[in-house]
Chains A and B, each alone.
Chain A
Amino acid sequence: MDIRDDSLQKIARRHWYNFVDPVTKLLLALFLTMLSFDFTPLYFEISLVLFSLTLLLLSRLSKATVNAVSFCLFLIVTMVVIQGLFYSHNVHPLFSVMTITFYREGFLYAATMSARILIIIFAIGFFMGTTTVSENAKYLESIGMPYKLVYLLMSVCYILPQIQQNLSKIQFVERARGINPQKTVMQKVRSILPILIPLIIKTFDQSINRSITLQLRGFDRPERTLATPKYPYFKAKFSHYLLSIVILLLIGCKLWQIISRFL
């Protein structure tokens, strides 16, 4: 099915993931995360990792997801080493490297937690790769989220590049003035203020200007035209209710597991 985006005047092909609304995608991520917390056997965790990875690969693998995986990989490796060596329930040796012994219990514990981290990254990656800022903004407002909150969430995505641009401009000016890169930690901390103060003042000045502009345009007026969602979605409300009920049940189940340990 094809859809015409009037603002861009171009034809965009709709993929299967465009039929799933942004909130359902987020609830799905939460559902998979809760499943991984409720059912701990490693084979179940691995199947959840594979499921979320398949979901991601069948949609769009974004650069942000690859970055997130590489960001967490170091932590996962250190977690496996630390828990494999020092986990408090370590009993059965798994393997030894010279005089250092890795234990089965710690290894399994770290593997379970690593699987959870990967599930969260892949499921959120699915959401990130398949939705856009404007799609999320329009959809959130159309389902009743206060427009101020929608503005808050979405404006950050547009303001960030502006602040980064200001930062590189200020750093360029500082370098042009002959301020050299600092070597010691104290020198580095001291060098922060001459860059951060102008950056922050400029950023706040721009937000004052933005605030005046919004006030003049009647941002606070109660009569507003609601944004309409970008795409028609497949059974959005039903998916929200179903996933929310299942998530609540899983949370209840987990809480019961924790409470029953003390009974």
Chain B
Amino acid sequence: MKENGIDTKASRFNMWKLHLSVATVTLIPAAVGINYVAKAFAEGLKLPLWLGSLGTYLASMLAGPTAGAISGFINNIIYGLTLSPVSTVYSITSIAIGIVVGVLFNRGWFSNVKRVFVSAILIALTSAIISTPLNVIFWGGQTGIPWGDALFATMIGNHINIWIASFTDEFVLDIMDKVVVAYLAFFIYRQLPQRMINYFKDNQ
């Protein structure tokens, strides 16, 4: 069924396949590279977004949640070893994002513009729920983004619980980022040649 965008049935894959095929093994580094470059690109354009999960989204959409989760995990490991060592612990969040995107895509929640928005909210919620304890443990609840932290400081100043303040700080930032990345991934996926989609699906 083609619902005004992505043909959901034709794009489905074996969701929980743990064996890594050669195609998936070469897709994952490419996805990590896309994450890295997209993040650098967003920083270069001074966008108030990270875009650092675009490759993870695409890997999940092309080869399933396992590929997406591994892409997210390796992305944070590489980022942690080269730029910010504390980013390594956020690999848990990236794994969850990869899994959620893969599951939602397989169930047809990336088939049209409206559904993509709902998916983005679910992904942002997942990301915020997992990142909040990490923010509290490592950064006292902050996210490191100035205007998000200003919101956090205001809430803490008004004696609101640190967990709620940190979750709000994270969710407000995540919702914007994840919505933009979900739409970017949706539009980019539609532009990919069919032979490319089939190659990764068939060689999963």
Interface residues of A (CB under 8 A from B): 64, 67-68, 71-72, 74-75, 78-79, 82-83, 85-88, 109-110, 113, 116-117, 120-121, 123-125, 127-128, 148, 151-153, 155-157, 159-160, 162-164, 167, 182, 185, 188-189, 191-193, 195-197, 199-201, 203-208, 210-211, 214-215, 219-220
Contacts and interface: CB of A to CB of B under 8 A. Distances in A.
A72 B86 contact: yes
A156 B38 contact: no
B137 to A, nearest CB: 8
A116 to B, nearest CB: 7
Contacts of B162: 88
B27 interface: yes
Contacts of A159: 29-30, 32-33
Given A71-B84, A116-B138, A200-B192, 16 more contacts: A82-B152, A113-B140, A120-B85, A124-B81, A148-B20, A152-B28, A156-B33, A156-B78, A160-B33, A160-B78, A191-B45, A192-B41, A192-B51, A193-B188, A200-B58, A220-B21
Contact of B153 (A75, A82, A128, A151): A82
B135 to A, nearest CB: 11
Indicate the size class of the contact surface on chain B.
35 or more
B22 interface: yes
Given A71-B84, A85-B157, A196 B38 contact: yes
Q: Which 8 A-B pairs have the closest CB atoms?
A: A163-B33, A124-B85, A86-B156, A211-B26, A207-B30, A207-B26, A155-B29, A210-B26
A88 B47 CA distance: 33
Contacts of A88: 156, 159, 162
Interface string B144-185: 101001001100110100100000000000000000100010
A208 B198 CA distance: 11
Interface in B42-61: 45-48, 51, 54, 58
Contacts of B142: 75, 78-79, 82
Given A82-B142, A86-B153, A203-B30, A164 B22 contact: no
Contact of B188 (A87, A113, A116, A200): A200
Contact of A163 (B21, B28, B37, B153): B37
Given A160-B36, A211-B203, A204 B27 contact: yes
Contacts of B16: none
A185 B47 contact: yes
A214 B26 contact: yes
B101 to A, nearest CB: 16
8 contacts: A128-B81, A156-B32, A160-B32, A164-B40, A201-B191, A208-B199, A211-B203, A214-B26
Contacts of B121: none
A206 B30 contact: yes
B83 interface: yes
